[in-house]
Structure 1
């Protein structure tokens, strides 16, 4: 799905990502782990076009996307969620989600002023796609709730639905289980499996190691901006460099 070669990002004197090469494999649950400040979110921002790399290349299914803007990357099928779920709290959940499919529409200001048939049809499609995405994540009962009134776990599901409404091929999840309890974490893990079964490739950043070790097909470990290991959960759990840098002896014995 995605090929990253020698990716480097400097912010002044800070080397946030240093010569990282990896692949995000199609149809798999790919994970990125590492201590705070390891460069994980910066790595996501480079893929999504938020930051431009200092050097290196990013290729999406054969197309060079290294220098594209975030909206252009999204148009090609890369969606993401964020550590903090930001919604329009004074709007309904459904109205929040309608924004997602606007990425795929063609109507403009002139259509709005005229109330064109194209605008009306695209609004219908956006509403339909929003409902489909909300139903997929198990949140159809939230449709008419104000976004500011729903729980943290429900906000996470709505964030998933917002990303899914853009019709992605690759979904980047930044700490999708942050701030939720163990039962809710398990539910979100099941949702991630469901997303992959539907044909969407997933790459996630997460600090909950029990979740990652039971969920991921492939894990890359970053430390101080550098890739220090990559492999299956079993390989990562047994890697002495990773144990020393991040996991600790408890995971080595697991």
Structure 2
């Protein structure tokens, strides 16, 4: 689904992503791990258009996307969540999600000023998509609650729902389980599996190794911006370079 070839991003003298090549496999859970500062979030930022590559290629379903704007990449079908879930706290959960489907609508400023039939139809569709996304992530009962009043775990699910409302085929999840307890982490893992069961492809960055080892089909390991290993969880767990750079010996024995 997504092909990365010799991807590099420099910030002055710092090489944040250094000649990385990989493939995000369709219909699977792909994971990226590594120490803090390894380049994981920068890698995501290059895929979703926050940064343009210094060099290298990013192809999504055969189309070159390196250097496209964030909104252009989102329209192609790549959604992204962030480490910190930022919502409009004084708006309802449902209203926070309505914005997600806006990139699929056709209304213009004139439609807004004239309150046209097209605008009204777009608003209806956006609300329907928001409700569908809330139902998918299990949050329909809190649709009308203020976003500022919901729990951290519910905020994570709202972020998943917001990504879903853009109608993606690939979802990038940046530390989705951060700040969650083990029970909440397991619930989020089940939701990620549900994504794939419904035809989506997932790529996630995460530091919770027990979660990743149980969840991922394939893992890529970054260190100082370079790819040092890639493969199935069983192989990554015992890879000497990965143990030395990140996991530590205790994970090789799990």
Range class of TM-score, shorter chain:
over 0.9
Equivalent residues in 2 for 1:1-254, closer than 5 Å: 1-254=1-254
How far did residue 5 of structure 1 move? 0.2
Q: What secondary structure sits across from 2:235 in the alignment?
A: helix
Cα distance in 1 for partners of 2:37, 2:67 equals 24
After TM superposition, give the deviation of residue 4 of structure 1 in Å.
0.2
Runs of 4+ in 1 over 4 A off after TM superposition: none
Deviation at residue 44 of structure 1 after TM alignment: 0.1
Figure out how many residues of one structure are paired with residues of the other and give that number: 254
Alpha-carbon displacement from aligned partner over 1:228-249 (angstroms, at most 9, x marks no partner): 0000000100101100110011
SS in 2 for 1:31: strand
**Cα distance in 1, alignment partners of residues 20 and 235 from structure 2:** 19
Deviations 1:43-98 (A, max 9, x none): 00000000011100000010000120100000000000000000001100000000
Structure 1: gaps (5+ residues)? none
Look up the SS of the partner of 2:199 in the other structure.
coil
Q: CA deviation at 1:39?
A: 0.2
> Matches of 1:103 and 1:87 in 2, distance apart?
18
| Equivalent-residue separation in structure 2 for 1:215 and 1:173 (angstroms) | 13
Aligned mates of 1:53, 1:171 — CA distance in 2: 20
Alpha carbon RMSD of aligned pairs, Å?
0.4
The TM-score normalised by the length of structure 1 is 1.00
How far off is 1:179 after superposition? Answer: 0.4
Deviations 1:150-173 (A, max 9, x none): 000000000000000000010000
Gaps spanning 5+ residues in structure 2: where?
Answer: none
Q: Distance in 2 between matches of 1:178 and 1:139?
A: 19
Structure 2 distance, partners of 1:222, 1:214, is 19
1:195-214 alpha-carbon deviations (Å, 9 max, x no partner): 11100100000000000000
